[in-house]
Structure 1
């Protein structure tokens, strides 16, 4: 039987995928370049579409650059646009090719069609090639004087582009003066607006260099220019109106009559359909009346209706932006919006971020007259199937209670939440009950009667469990089962991963011991023994503090741990008044949406910690040092870093195991011997044939000695290259290409966690096992590392993403290898090296 005939199937002509197809396109474009036959423009369009399609999906079609330029000699504006798009894409990366476009772009800048003149001028200014700036001056000068307004509009922004490419060329050509003349005399409003924006940016940057530019910048805020812009205000587009309003908000009127004239002129802008114009007008009104208290309050009353209309008339994104500004105003003057609280009720179809903001506003406007209605509405939300919404509504009820509005009814509502038997409702309510008891101790009897019926086994969330434990310790005399509940929690100490819960448990047991010593004696001994051996530094230190206080004097310890308390009058605000005023000054900006001043999210030193990405492919690596000594130290802190940078200078700190710096005094006031201090030290190791000293408090509480740590497992057999080297780009490329061979969770030695004050400690340790770090970062409790290693016998590379959680002593590993057959052996070697961290 004859084999089937082979057919050569080429890709679709609309989607070229190789050099052959690009060559065909090049040949077809060259044939059409000089053709004037009918239908040539239609054929060019199809070819241009294919070229643009290839360019869009990432195929390199720069080889057809000259043919595209030759085919652009046409009056078809569609072909011109596609050609300009192609040229703008490749000219930025190929300055030599950009030179080929100058002649035809300059020729098009003189075309009879103003649309082509404008498009050509915009493309010419968008090349952004420093060596070609001399070719921009002539067309820009002609464009600023063009008879068509579209060309002048493009030219004004072209001047700004030229300034960013070459400041000296722009200033030598005296373009700012030309823009100023156009701004004051051009009949087209859009040209005036573009001139204003360009001059603001140019003179703003030049003001730091020369006094003349600073003076010119001040002329933008002169009374004649402000009045000129306001008199032409209705001619501007919505975008231009916002720009003018932003400029006018910086102007300082000479007297109150001038303020009223400006406000009367712009009164109708509050009814505008565009939310940006309304917010810009509101900002201007608020800025103008800051020094006039009565008028300022009237402005609040006047702007309330437009803002509420914008909230209900737009989509969820607009509603959130407007609500953010309303929230800022409500925080400054809640009494003005208190009667409109129903506008802030949540709708079923609103996204959660809008609902959450509305709950914050309901909390802010609550007062004596509307608290009952607001709390009733919030209680309905607490039964919502949407768990985040239910949590936020319960928090809102608690915040209102802390504002001293109708506390009796609110406390009853909160206690009813505890009877709903929903885990998330119970958890949030326990946290709020704790805060309420701190402020209203008189409600302890009613609250404890309900809280006492809650089983600690049904509370799993750390904050809720910590709140329940706090109440068990604080009101141990009123809760009959408090010592036994605490004892059961201590028995499960090793299973409790939250350091916050363990800290509260220590304090609660000590408080309970002072109130009910016989029942709590055993629990206290177990808690102190577990706390002293805890790997978390804060838990260890607190347990050691309580132990030494009890050694010294029990009555003094009681005064320290459980002193007489006064009710908390005011809970601390998360934001200072200075920050709130700063946000108000930046009204109608992202500062209001983020609820923080602009410098906190624009200045690098105020940015938050780096959020680790799941995939390294979206990030770029820092440069690795040549000697492979802690390469992560040389990663610069910029937006392209793989991880947070670490300090170039590692702080040398002593081990926290050294407890000889302090000796606990005994009951008689004398200092205890060093051997007695070793009893509660983390690094205590029993010495053969030497009897251990004990205290009376040890016998009383039944404290035992910490068990010696088990030795690490033996190292698996796999030889690694001690001088392995890998470039950051190669690491990144391999990480993208290789699949994940092993993904698993393992543990790290608590003693190692205790000494890991910074990422460098683990980096040095792993480097001693021929496993090198190419990048690291993070802050406690989460540290992240990218390690690499190479096999000694053959060029096989191992890549590891290692995320360490110091609070739980857990490590998440993702391993990628060239040779899959050795992945398990390397995984065992890596975990073995990790397990030895803290022993060496």
Structure 2
């Protein structure tokens, strides 16, 4: 062999080795990139320019390798998240919309939603592929196609989107039908001329049997046709029964719709003004249907109608009662929004005596994040304005803590002053006295104002509040003294001999208090008590005139007013006239124009002149009425009272102003609307795929007849009404939930068992588990012997069952009923 042949073979071997090493390095890089190692491309990124990166991304999008396409799309999505405009890659991304890789499709759909409005012509090119994807075998692909097609903000495709929605509402997958419900508001906002067709689609979806779809359908109902209650009539009872099976967001939407529906279709449950009373109402409720009794009632116990006053009876419609009972389990939800929605429904739609159920669930929500806590506290404060008795038992739960932010503590102060009663006012004032020691000046001022509100909330404790405020006047903190003076001025503005000592104590503070607002309030109060304390006014005026030029402008105005009031009462007193003349001369050349105007006005009324105008004499005749008019008793209101006109649970309540989209609740009808519109035949299995029909036991109305003493009842036969249970109820979770956590209390649900006796039930369950676990332990031989004995027992029981239908069989069936319960 020649030398050239050796050289050629060596070159060929070197080329093959180089290609192999390049493939190995590329494979390692791809594997590292696929595993997500952060430093796999760091070296190349430092030396590549931005233009080279863009060319690399475009090459990856045009590649036939799905891995490279996926990497290029991830880079684009990362750039979008950083706020960079990458619309130049729109044509390259649209070409990958038909990819068979689901991950690539997801990223392409995200990119299309972001830039479809900027490139509407190119976005329309992908509509055909979306229409094909609506028939894909994968439900995720079908749902994603509809979601992206409805998210493209191009009005031209609204008819195509509507066709896609109509096709997806008949899809066998509930996930796709839920996506169709989400697409309805998007299509409506894109083209509102499609409203009638979308309403028909909503009416079809409301008949859906899946709890996954119902929540999204109600959201679409709220957006498109919130007042079309004729669509709710056929599915009202279904919505009440499906509340527990829906997701949390769906539950809140359904509760809001049912609240507005109840306000429109049911009578006022508090016709005698129970909401206006601050005392807890008596619990006595009667039902319009005599054959319908509460779910948890004793069948043998009959209420004496003679003992119930007619004004205390509340007639509830059967469907009204169904709604209230369906909402009770949701009070134990982990979602604070669901609990607040149920509380809102009970506050506006339930009898006042039944509203006590919402107190403890709302207090439980105070242990969440501070933002949620503030929302709950604001709504509690609004509810407590009309029904303070709901939260009186939870007084200590609203005590402020030093670690809480100021807005939380202020909200708690509003609640504490609202629920103050004669029974707890002493404890409350002791607690408020400790808050005054806080280093936060704003919180101290709010606390002093809260003490004044307690005086107006509980009139019998007004003297105690005044004594506490007078005690605060001896504080070394100047802010505490000044705020106490301001509050006392409002409480003492009506002259009386009982408050004379308090006014004298305030006057003595004029030498020490330097805050202008506090000094001006004391001077105004001296003028109001000029007749009650005739010797105090002139002396205060004498001292005030000495330091007039050094006072603040608001204090100067009150000094001028005090001088005019004293002249009005003693027009011929020479010393007072001299002081008044001297004071008006000082004010005439004051630098503040308000002081000069006030002095010019009072000079004309208090100092006689030769050329008086006719109208001025009439003013002088009524000067005492003008200056010494008595004020009405002070009503110190909080910010919550100013915003109480907005609905509980609304954002406008937090903002203290009506926000876009806010609508007040409609008033109750004067006459009962026709209830037969809700009498529709229920389809079998409407509440879930698994449905069990039970004629007795938990599903019957006479629940307590199976608890004890009714041994003549057999499982599967009885006179009770049949009830269709949903999949959750059929599996036994609902029955176990009710039997373990809900007890009877005056023929109603007792939520106290959930909060007070949960620990005891947990201990009993743990002890029962230990007994069962100990009984199940044993050797294998003993288990075999037990199995043999069970088989022999079964054979003997089968032989005896044909002849005997005695008490043993009845007792075993009763035990079965109890297990189901």
Aligned: 1:310 with 2:365? yes
Partners of 1:483 and 1:589 in 2: CA distance: 52
Partners of 1:266 and 1:380 in 2: CA distance: 40
For 1:441, the equivalent position in structure 2 comes to: 496
- Check conservation: 1:105, 1:121, Cα contact below 8 A: yes
- Check conservation: 2:429, 2:451, Cα contact below 8 A: yes
Partners of 1:260 and 1:81 in 2: CA distance: 47
- Check conservation: 1:550, 1:557, Cα contact below 8 A: no
Partners of 1:244 and 1:473 in 2: CA distance: 60
Aligned: 1:176 with 2:196? no
Partners of 2:256 and 2:203 in 1: CA distance: 18
For 2:325, the equivalent position in structure 1 comes to: 264
| TM-score, with structure 1 as normaliser | 0.60
Q: Which has the higher contact order (CA 8 A, sep 6+)?
A: 2
Partners of 1:200 and 1:600 in 2: CA distance: 11
Give 2:603's match in structure 1, choosing from 522, 547, 551. Answer: 547
Give 2:229's match in structure 1, choosing from 190, 214, 218. Answer: 218
Partners of 2:324 and 2:136 in 1: CA distance: 46
CA RMSD of aligned residues (A): 3.7
CA shift in 2, pair 1:342/1:589, >3 Å:
same
- Check conservation: 2:400, 2:409, Cα contact below 8 A: yes
- Check conservation: 2:537, 2:566, Cα contact below 8 A: no
Deviations 1:331-371 (A, max 9, x none): 11234544442232112222211211111122122232222
Extract unaligned runs of 5+ from structure 1. Answer: 1-11, 205-213, 290-295, 604-840
Aligned: 1:59 with 2:120? no
Deviations 1:251-300 (A, max 9, x none): 324852413333233322223232222222233233334xxxxxx23123
Give 2:635's match in structure 1, choosing from 571, 596, 604. Answer: 571
For 2:397, the equivalent position in structure 1 comes to: 343
CA shift in 2, pair 1:527/1:99, >3 Å:
farther
CA shift in 2, pair 1:308/1:58, >3 Å:
closer
- Check conservation: 2:62, 2:69, Cα contact below 8 A: no
Partners of 1:346 and 1:181 in 2: CA distance: 51
CA shift in 2, pair 1:572/1:371, >3 Å:
closer
1:526-605 correspondence to structure 2 within 5 Å: 527-529=583-585, 531=587, 539-552=595-608, 556=620, 559-560=623-624, 566=630, 568-569=632-633, 571=635, 582-583=645-646, 586-594=647-655
Deviations 1:632-660 (A, max 9, x none): xxxxxxxxxxxxxxxxxxxxxxxxxxxxx
Deviations 1:687-741 (A, max 9, x none): xxxxxxxxxxxxxxxxxxxxxxxxxxxxxxxxxxxxxxxxxxxxxxxxxxxxxxx
Partners of 1:120 and 1:15 in 2: CA distance: 39
Partners of 2:42 and 2:585 in 1: CA distance: 75
- Check conservation: 1:486, 1:505, Cα contact below 8 A: yes
CA shift in 2, pair 1:398/1:286, >3 Å:
closer
Shift of 1:587: 2.5
For 1:121, the equivalent position in structure 2 comes to: 146
- Check conservation: 1:506, 1:543, Cα contact below 8 A: yes
Deviations 1:185-210 (A, max 9, x none): x3321222222322343234xxxxxx
- Check conservation: 1:448, 1:478, Cα contact below 8 A: no
Kindly tell me the number of residue pairs found equivalent between the two proteins. Answer: 558
Give 2:217's match in structure 1, choosing from 183, 195, 201. Answer: 195
- Check conservation: 2:565, 2:624, Cα contact below 8 A: no
Secondary structure of the structure 2 residue equivalent to 1:405: helix
Partners of 2:601 and 2:146 in 1: CA distance: 75
Partners of 1:572 and 1:358 in 2: CA distance: 16
Aligned: 1:236 with 2:246? yes
Give 1:28's match in structure 2, choosing from 48, 56, 72. Answer: 56
1:369-380 correspondence to structure 2 within 5 Å: 369-380=423-434
Partners of 1:350 and 1:142 in 2: CA distance: 53
Partners of 1:226 and 1:602 in 2: CA distance: 22
For 1:382, the equivalent position in structure 2 comes to: 436
Structure with the greater alpha carbon radius of gyration: 2
- Check conservation: 2:170, 2:177, Cα contact below 8 A: yes
Deviations 1:14-61 (A, max 9, x none): 9999xx966434432442344334xx42x3343323322333333321
For 1:321, the equivalent position in structure 2 comes to: 375
Shift of 1:390: 0.9
Deviations 1:456-487 (A, max 9, x none): 57422x43232133235445732685224422
For 2:685, the equivalent position in structure 1 comes to: none
For 2:177, the equivalent position in structure 1 comes to: 152
Secondary structure of the structure 1 residue equivalent to 2:235: helix
For 1:638, the equivalent position in structure 2 comes to: none
Deviations 1:466-515 (A, max 9, x none): 2133235445732685224422442125xx3x5x4443232123235567
- Check conservation: 1:486, 1:509, Cα contact below 8 A: no
Aligned: 1:365 with 2:419? yes
CA shift in 2, pair 1:148/1:533, >3 Å:
farther
Secondary structure of the structure 1 residue equivalent to 2:422: coil
| TM-score, with structure 2 as normaliser | 0.61
Deviations 1:739-798 (A, max 9, x none): xxxxxxxxxxxxxxxxxxxxxxxxxxxxxxxxxxxxxxxxxxxxxxxxxxxxxxxxxxxx
Shift of 1:129: 1.2
Deviations 1:568-607 (A, max 9, x none): 4453868999x88843xx222224434566689899xxxx
Deviations 1:130-179 (A, max 9, x none): 133344244333332333222221122212211221233464xx343233
